[in-house]
């Protein structure tokens, strides 16, 4: 048992030590691209860039590529030797046990939080949805191009809208909100939640959460997951605005109207559509932007840039140099070689010596 734990600890150390160093390089590149491109590109591209960075967490650190940026950074060899260097089994085993304890603790706390939240959302009494809202949900699903079945649930006592469930999503709306607010605002909130379903955001969030639990000790993973959460909201806003077309200004007004009481007097869990003051400002700013490129060109540009990032930045192991075959003409000449062979070797030796000296051969 102890030997098994020691072997697992050594494998874990070889993976985590190299991965922790490589993560800094990958997330630094993505962070710089985010800061540079955020004023000119669409939010979907930034979101995919950060997802590529998160994919690095599941790619073995020993993967190499001839066009990787690691081949052009000399210091990477020294870093790799430190990460893969020999270390005593005792401290590695202790670190491994601490890591396992952290994963279990964070996983237990996250599961408890999710089950409590799900119980709060779905444990309240369910009200009957108005007929017009059921019909509107079907129309909005068709308008957004959602082929999956989505259940609509109106609940008494909940304080906000949300998508509950990863593989069988349920859109939850507060009964008081449906009863008191104008239809236009209700449809806007519903479209935003349906946009999360269309983009498979609950599954993407679960994937990022699992990676955060595995790399709970690395600050870059926490930053990346937080940035992805903000970009998901912005992408849903853009999807709703594009679907509304000329009525997108009304969606912006809905955000402002729903955020006004929350900003003036913050209330926990006021509405799932609004999260933080700073996030709201970013979302409103993104809604004011327009992009001249069509949807197809945006998808091609996103695919091209993310493929380049994946090939050049995800495989960060050193590409081994090609083997050098040394030729020793001196040892190749034997005393009893025939005359023509001795002459041939002599000519080859002279050519090799002149080439080493840098003088012209002829």
The pLDDT tens digits of the residues spanning 134-190 come to: 999 999 999 888 888 888 989 888 877 888 888 888 999 988 888 888 999 999 999
Query: Tokens 């996983």 — which residue?
Result: 107
- Contacting residues for 232 by C-beta, under 8 A, at least 6 apart: 47, 196, 199, 201, 204, 205
More confident residue, 327 or 98: 98
CA 6 to chain centre: 32
C-alpha 273/C-alpha 255 separation (Å) is: 8
What are the φ and ψ backbone dihedral angles of 137, each rounded to 5 degrees? -60, -45
What are the φ and ψ backbone dihedral angles of 360, each rounded to 5 degrees? -65, 145
Strands 126-127 and 151-155: antiparallel
Give the containing element (helix H, strand E) for 147: none
Q: Is 157 left (phi over 0), alpha (psi -120 to 50) or beta?
A: left
Q: What local confidence, expressed as pLDDT, does residue 224 receive?
A: 92
Question: In the 3-class helix/strand/coil scheme, how is 185-200 assigned residue by residue?
Answer: HHHHHHHHHHHHHHCC
- Contacting residues for 161 by C-beta, under 8 A, at least 6 apart: 171, 172, 173, 174, 177, 189, 190, 192, 193, 271, 272, 273
For 119, the 3-state DSSP assignment is helix
What are the φ and ψ backbone dihedral angles of 66, each rounded to 5 degrees? -65, -20
What are the φ and ψ backbone dihedral angles of 162, each rounded to 5 degrees? -165, 160
Question: Per-residue pLDDT tens for 51-104?
Answer: 988 988 998 888 887 777 777 765 455 445 544 455 667 788 888 999 999 999
Identify the DSSP state of 152.
E
Q: Produce one character per residue of 136-172: b if its CB has 16 or more CB atoms within 10 Å, e if not.
A: bbeebbeebebeeebebbbbeebbbbbbbbeeebbbb
Res. 127: pLDDT tops 50: yes
The distance in angstroms from the start CA to the end CA of the chain is: 71
Q: What local confidence, expressed as pLDDT, does residue 67 receive?
A: 76
- Supply the mean pLDDT for the chain: 78
Question: Per-residue pLDDT tens for 225-284?
Answer: 999 998 998 899 888 988 887 777 888 888 888 777 655 554 444 444 545 444 666 677
What are the φ and ψ backbone dihedral angles of 171, each rounded to 5 degrees? -90, 120
Q: Are 279 and 228 in contact (CB under 8 A)?
A: no
pTM: predicted TM-score of the whole model, two decimal places: 0.77
C-alpha 304/C-alpha 77 separation (Å) is: 29
Q: What local confidence, expressed as pLDDT, does residue 271 receive?
A: 45
For 13, the 3-state DSSP assignment is helix
Q: What local confidence, expressed as pLDDT, does residue 100 receive?
A: 93
DSSP 254-296: HHHHHHHHHHHS--TTS-TT---HHHHHHHHHHHT----S-HH
For 173, the 3-state DSSP assignment is strand
Least Cα distance to 283 among 332, 319, 248 occurs for: 248
Mean pLDDT for the stretch of residues 302-306: 83
């Amino acid at each position: 048992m102890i030997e098994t734990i020691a072997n697992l600890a050594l494998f874990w150390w070889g993976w985590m030590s190299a991965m922790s160093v490589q993560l800094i390089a990958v997330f630094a590149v993505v962070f710089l691209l985010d800061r540079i491109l955020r004023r000119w590109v669409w939010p979907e591209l930034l979101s995919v860039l950060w997802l590529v960075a998160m994919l690095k967490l599941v790619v073995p650190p020993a993967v190499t590529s001839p066009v990787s940026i690691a081949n052009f950074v000399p210091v990477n060899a020294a870093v790799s030797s430190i990460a893969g260097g020999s270390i005593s089994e005792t401290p590695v085993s202790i670190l491994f046990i601490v890591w396992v304890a952290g994963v279990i603790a964070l996983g237990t706390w996250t599961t408890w939080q999710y089950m409590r939240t799900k119980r709060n959302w779905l444990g309240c009494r369910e009200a009957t949805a108005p007929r017009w809202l059921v019909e509107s949900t079907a129309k909005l699903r068709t308008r957004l191009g959602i082929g999956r079945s989505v259940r609509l649930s109106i609940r008494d006592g909940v304080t906000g809208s949300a998508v509950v469930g990863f593989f069988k999503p349920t859109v939850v709306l507060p009964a008081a909100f449906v009863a008191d607010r104008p239809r236009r605002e209700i449809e806007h909130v519903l479209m935003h939640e349906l946009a999360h379903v269309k983009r498979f955001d609950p599954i993407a969030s679960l994937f990022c959460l699992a990676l955060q639990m595995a790399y709970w000790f690395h600050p870059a993973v926490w930053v990346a997951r937080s940035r992805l959460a903000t970009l998901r909201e912005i992408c849903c806003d853009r999807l709703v605005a594009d679907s509304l077309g000329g009525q997108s200004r009304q969606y912006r007004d809905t955000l402002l109207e729903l955020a006004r009481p929350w900003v003036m007097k913050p209330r926990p869990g006021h509405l799932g559509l609004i999260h933080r003051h700073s996030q709201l400002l970013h979302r409103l700013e993104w809604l004011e932007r327009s992009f001249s490129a069509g949807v197809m060109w945006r998808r091609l540009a996103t695919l091209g840039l993310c493929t380049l990032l994946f090939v050049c930045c995800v495989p960060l192991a050193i590409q081994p140099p090609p083997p050098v075959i040394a030729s020793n003409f001196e040892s190749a000449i034997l005393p009893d070689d025939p005359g023509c062979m001795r002459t041939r070797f002599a000519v080859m030796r002279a050519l090799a010596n002149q080439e080493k000296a840098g003088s012209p051969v002829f």
